A and B are shown apart, each in its own frame.
Chain A
Amino acid sequence: MVRIRSTMPSRAVQLASVTGMMGVKVIPRAARVYIGCALLGAGASVLPALRPGAATPWATVALLTALYALCELPARCRLLGRALGGSVPMGTGSFFPVLLAAALLLPPAAAALTAVPGSLLARVEEPPAAPRRAWRAAATALATWAAAQAAGALDCARALGHGHDAPDFPYALLPAGAAALTFCLALTALDGGIRATAGGLPPRAAWRGLLGRALAPHAVHGLAGLMMAVLWRSTYGPVSALFVLLPMYISCWVFAQYHRERAAHQATIRALVQAVDIKDRYTRGHSERVGHASVLIARELGMAEDRLDVVRFAGILHDVGKLGVPTRVLRKDGPLTPEERRVIELHPEYGHEMVRGIGFLGEARAAILHHHERMDGSGYPYGLHGDEIPEFARVVAVADAFDAMTSTRSYSRARPVPTAVAELERCAGSQFDARMVAALVRALDRHGWQPAVTADETTPAGPTGGNVPPPRGAHAARRPEAPGTRPRERA
């Protein structure tokens, strides 16, 4: 079964951590001071390498600096990025192995220096660019400096070997691990600080969860950095060290593609819903709201996070089977004949047939099939009753009826929430599962109900019929326009 929720420590989060101040447009005063301090610290850490008389290995520094800057460039330069196989920008941080290799190979001050140009050059997601760049350069320089200190303290230079001297494995893993851990801790600490000062988060919230998510990726970066350093020092020279980067680079590229594809997938789901809107424009926004209400109920019942996703899809897609109902019947204004009513009542089965092939929907498929069943067994399509009805279907049935009652229809205004709740409670037990109704009531007490979508029309419906036009008495105030004449309007 395919799961689309991410379970790995998210690289995106870790990437975001370097930019720190996501979404902050104006940098607050506290953050300016904080960035200034970081810059001073970074300057102080770099300075010893620039002093006359410092035995800085300039060739290695230049190579690593250029390498890091070169790695960060494709993300910045749109043209180059596209030439490399896709316009998906990769976040900063994909190339930490270079910095970790620098930390292992160079003295602390020189290692810190390698981080600066690349960080200054790299892509910035949103303005203001200058302080973000400065912050990133300072943070990575400080973290690299700290990592190099840790590696140096554990006698890294000897462990890496040189030329024909073989490296001292497995001891070399120790300084490399220490360097990666220090790097990760330093970045996390600095990052938490900027979140606290720029984002105005309380310190505990700013740091919470950062370290746990960052540890695993940094461990991998550490191993890659170690291998780069070993090969750099070996007789095969820096050229061979480049190969270590390629799998990392591809991994990051794939990760970016993954995020793009995931977004595309969400869009496809919405397109399925919008296809329904094309046929039946009175339901616009209804699907999304039912999804929202279903999640409210499910969360109140204490369902696990990944099931919440499924129940949301069940809510969003519950009426997808209306695609199978002839448009003429769906848009009919007058009373429905028994024949037409039978046709409309087929929509749960059509819907189930449609989404049958979508593996990850899982339980949601049963919910789509059974969302018009009633607790007393008088629903359709199968006339199940009580606990025979799948749990998700009972959730969606309540959410569906609730939204149908609280949204304005073509011929009557929306009922207020308390009236709708009273109606639901009246039908609890016979039509709805009382547990679901109670959960909805609790959720509404806690969160209120703000329909997120501004659509204001649904098909005439009451708690008796879910979202299906009642058999008679529906007097629409206006006729539907001729279909398909103005496709842009439906966007």
Chain B
Amino acid sequence: MRPGSVTVGAVHGAALLLSLTGFASTLWYGVDEPGNALAFGTLIVLGELARWGAAPGVGAPPVREAPGGREPAPLAAAGALAYALLGASAGTATTHGVLQIVAVVVAAGLAGIVPHIARGRGPGPDHLARRVLTVGFAALCFQPLYNSGAVVEHLGQGPAYALFLVLLLALTALCDAVLAALVLRARTGFPYGPLLRDELSALLGIGSAVGATGTVMALGVAAAGLWALPVLAVPLLLTQVSFRRYAAVRTVNRQTIASLARATEIAGCTPPGHARRVAALSAAVGRELGLSGAELAVLEHAALMHDIGQLSLVDPVAGGATALLPTEEQRRIALLGGEVVRRTGVPEAVAVVVERQADPYREQPLPARIVRTVNAYDDLAGGEKAGAALDALERLRLGTARDHHPDVVECLARVLARGGAAGVTSVATG
């Protein structure tokens, strides 16, 4: 049994239990305000249908997704949130409870993803469980208070009410981030802090657009009735289209960079898969050392392209193992690589890492230290042989006086002991 499976099981179990209770209760007591339920349900179904299938990147390197681009069905998420925070409809108070909200959201969500599942691109159970629990949390915070009349009594129906919804929204977002980081930690074993930080910073992207639209839909329906739904859905759809195009061009860029990285392999400069392995392992080490999303992206790009300087050598280095060359030669190749990387349009920071990968560790920035150590490890271990790995680690430890930072080497050892870079790719798709 994997160490995190208890957490994942608990999250899935809680979501399943909540959904089943919601269905049972709704079937037993019937639906309050079926018109509202139908309208929001339709919105969620449409939102799920318009979901952009985050097709698993076949052959793409494990470079992380754009932060904030991870909500695949923003309209559905906003609709679910709005239904959870719905107090009044065109000035009339509503009476639907938490369990009905869960039932409507789950039923509509399932109806919406059936076509996607039929095409084999349905969302993972993690995503569904998160949606159910987050919406349940928001509803649980709001509906009992509202239905008992406490909200309107204390806050009235003015700006204070709107600000109360914003407060709930912030709490819900926090809950969602905690949940996401928890599941991710259970699946990958990375430290919790950086994961949570990533999730929170991801909220600034489409997460905040979803939240704002959800809140404003709840308010809009309260003020203007159900007509507010289609009117507000359009701007959010525009946001989704923008995100989709952004993601598409990012994918293309990533593929191109991966091709550039493969150039050294095809040129016979490096062994097959070297760049990919170094990138994956560097990312795992970087995460272990607590790097955040943007820094990890820089690290992975730099790791992918770290050997590009070898293209300018007249004769390939034997076996492509730069770690075995004299120091001056290594630095020269690193500088040449930096020259190429500077022209690729990736952030300047990537070129700096590539340039400084062969410097002594005391002069290096952290990402360059990681690339240096991981590259040396891959060169020394030469792929998959188990015995070579231990030898390689031993040699890296011997190099900690000048070349390799001791913390990075120990971190690499921990990551390797855990099974290497496994799980890095699941971060990208999560």
Contact = CB atoms under 8 A, between A and B. Distances in A.
Contact of B162 (A161, A167, A237, A355): A237
B249 A223 contact: no
A304 to B, nearest CB: 19
B220 A355 contact: no
A251 B242 contact: yes
Contacts of B336: 278, 484, 487
Interface stretch (B6-14, B339-347, B356-364, B370-378): B339-347
Contacts of A244: 212, 216, 232, 235
A369 to B, nearest CB: 14
A405 B296 CA distance: 47
Given A85-B204, A247-B239, A359 B252 contact: yes
B345 A324 contact: no
Contact of A243 (B216, B253, B335, B343): B216
A274 B343 contact: yes
A27 to B, nearest CB: 34
A247 B212 contact: yes
Given A6-B245, A327-B313, A484 B332 contact: yes
A279 interface: yes
A269 interface: yes
Contact of A227 (B162, B232, B258, B312): B232
Contacts of A272: 256, 259-260, 263
A318 to B, nearest CB: 14
Given A220-B234, A258-B242, A357 B255 contact: yes
A130 interface: no
Given A264-B253, A354-B262, 16 more contacts: A4-B248, A167-B223, A223-B232, A227-B232, A239-B163, A247-B212, A247-B213, A251-B242, A268-B257, A272-B260, A274-B343, A320-B263, A323-B311, A324-B266, A360-B255, A484-B332
A310 B4 CA distance: 46
15 contacts: A166-B223, A230-B220, A235-B156, A235-B157, A236-B158, A240-B159, A240-B162, A247-B236, A251-B235, A252-B242, A264-B344, A326-B268, A358-B255, A484-B312, A487-B339
Given A167-B224, A226-B231, A258-B246, A246 B343 contact: no
Interface string A212-239: 0000000110011011001100111111
Interface string A58-87: 000000000000000000000000000100
Contact of B248 (A3, A263, A278): A3
B222 interface: yes
Chain A residues touching B, range: 35 or more
A478 interface: no
Q: Is the interface of A mostly helix, strand, loop or mixed?
A: helix
B259 A262 contact: no
B205 interface: yes
Interface in B49-82: 59-60
B209 interface: yes
A26 interface: no
B251 interface: yes
Quick one: which of B156, B243, B245, B251 has the most chain A CB within 10 A?
Answer: B245
Given A243-B212, A327-B314, A250 B262 contact: no
A450 interface: no
Contact of B158 (A226, A235, A264, A265): A235
B311 A278 contact: yes
A169 B225 contact: yes
A53 interface: no
B255 A231 contact: no
B24 interface: no
Nearest to B263: A323
Given A223-B231, A272-B256, A275-B308, A166 B262 contact: no
B344 A267 contact: yes
A490 interface: yes
B215 interface: yes
B273 to A, nearest CB: 13
Contacts of B257: 268
B162 A247 contact: no
Interface residues of B, number: 74
A84 to B, nearest CB: 9
Nearest to B253: A265
A328 B208 CA distance: 55
B213 A234 contact: no
Contacts of B170: none
A12 to B, nearest CB: 12
B313 A271 contact: no
Contacts of B59: 357
A222 B167 CA distance: 28
Interface string B180-224: 000000000000000000000000111011001101100110111
B137 interface: no
B235 A8 contact: no
B253 A261 contact: yes
A235 B228 CA distance: 15
Contacts of A325: 267
Nearest to B215: A243
A341 interface: no
Contacts of B308: 275
B234 A223 contact: yes
Contacts of B313: 327, 483-484
Contacts of A247: 209, 212-213, 235-236, 238-239
B91 interface: yes
A423 to B, nearest CB: 32
Nearest to A160: B224
Contact of A354 (B204, B250, B263): B263
B315 interface: yes
B90 interface: yes
Interface string B320-349: 000000000000100110011101111000
B298 to A, nearest CB: 13
A491 B208 contact: no
> Which 10 pairs from chain A and chain B are nearest by CB?
A267-B345, A264-B345, A169-B227, A234-B223, A246-B212, A271-B344, A243-B216, A251-B239, A254-B242, A240-B162
B249 A262 contact: yes
B268 A324 contact: yes
B248 to A, nearest CB: 5
A368 B336 CA distance: 27
Given A246-B209, A275-B340, A231 B220 contact: yes
A235 B252 CA distance: 47
B241 interface: yes
Interface in A147-181: 161, 164, 166-167, 169-170, 172-173
A236 B312 contact: no
Nearest to A264: B345
A2 interface: yes
A353 interface: yes
Contact of A268 (B248, B260, B332, B335): B260
B162 A239 contact: yes
Contact of A236 (B161, B239, B249, B267): B161
A331 interface: yes
A410 interface: no
A301 interface: no
Given A250-B209, A250-B239, A357-B60, A227 B220 contact: yes
A487 B335 contact: yes
A3 B181 CA distance: 33
Contacts of B255: 357-360
B312 A483 contact: yes
Quick one: which of A250, A275, A325 has the most chain B CB within 10 A?
Answer: A250
Interface in A338-374: 350, 353-355, 357-360
B406 interface: no
